[in-house]
Structure 1
Amino acid sequence: MKSLNFAGIAAAIFLAASTVASAAPTLSFSGLNQAQIEALTPVANIAPTSTTGNYFNNVIGNQFNGGGGLIARSPWEGTSHQNTDGVFSSVQGGSSATFEFDKVQTGLSMIWGSPDSYNDLVITLLGGGGTYTINGNDVKGPSGILASLVGVTNVAFQKIVLTSGSNAFEFANLKTTPVPIPAGALLLVTAVGGLALVRRRKSA
């Protein structure tokens, strides 16, 4: 009966992923000023599966080269988080960071620090849907905004790639959302489990 349970769960996940994959991705963002960034709680970014070039993972404070030049600006700059708990990651010029997931994801959110035209977030869509690319210009707030809170929903993916043509693509609080099991699918799993229980009782 375990195989039936697994089949029910797999069917539930497939149903949920198929439903999301059929919809167009929804992008939302809001510019953040210093006070709004201060009010946020830093959370370590998930680790990339692989990287090319130069990548800073969960560092604290502005990053400088050997000559003292700024090469990665913290999204938490100017707040009490900057040099304490304000972790962030950064894809440097000519570099990339790839994140692959064992399970289907249906959304993501992040703080995108000082979005630039040379920053790209590329989501590989499931079901042969190609890719969905978000450029820094797509989420850039008005003058005086230091970062943007970015969210993507109505999407199904297992891979995202962050690239930057120049220094740098800084981001913080990167989180993804695993595929939810819809109520109808949960009923399917419950029914399969109940069937297994009845059969065990009969065999006893």
Structure 2
Amino acid sequence: MDLVGAARAGLARVADPAKADDMRRYMRSALPFRGVAKPERARLAKQLFAAHPMPDAETWVATVLELWRGAEYREERYLALDLIGAYPRWQDVGLLPLYDELIVTGAWWDFVDEIASKRVGPLLRSDPEVVAPLLRTWARDDDRWRRRTSVICQLGSKAATDTDLLAECVEANIADQDFFLRKGIGWALRQHARTDPHWVRAFVDTHPALSPLSRREALKHLG
């Protein structure tokens, strides 16, 4: 776990305590921040990953989990997500239990949205027979972050969007009053409107139970 120790030392080295409290307040985070902004973290990640390459997928997953589970500062978890993205060749459906853990324990939009759109969504497109049934289950789960993931995971799908799945996941959560679900529904529909505005208009028109927030977000760029 040389990378883990180097990551924590690196974050301490580039920390800006003057920014830390504001970052924590903005994110409403239980974990404190080091005060490392995204550009500085990206530079640090590039250096770390070059100096400590992962020899195999098992070590990679173990290192991600060590960074994540042992995090004392929020930026350590951001680096764990950066490390996931640094190895696209190992992305496959076998990682779904890992992503599920990160979604449930991360339990906030900054973590969940990246995992949903950049990790779960591509797996859905590459292996829909495995991932789509899981997302249908997540859409009705007690955990709101699994449900948000089911709704927003297709943000990058464009013409490959599974509209039946999108509709099902939205409909399963349409009556929920949770802000993050309502916002996520609107976001997912607004994004798909860039590809198929007629489908989105028709969906909104035939679903009067959509919250005003979801409806407003869905139609934001449609006039």
What's the TM-score, normalizing by structure 1? 0.22
- Structure that is richer in strand per residue: 1
Specify the structure having the higher radius of gyration (Cα): 1
- Structure that is richer in helix per residue: 2
What's the TM-score, normalizing by structure 2? 0.21
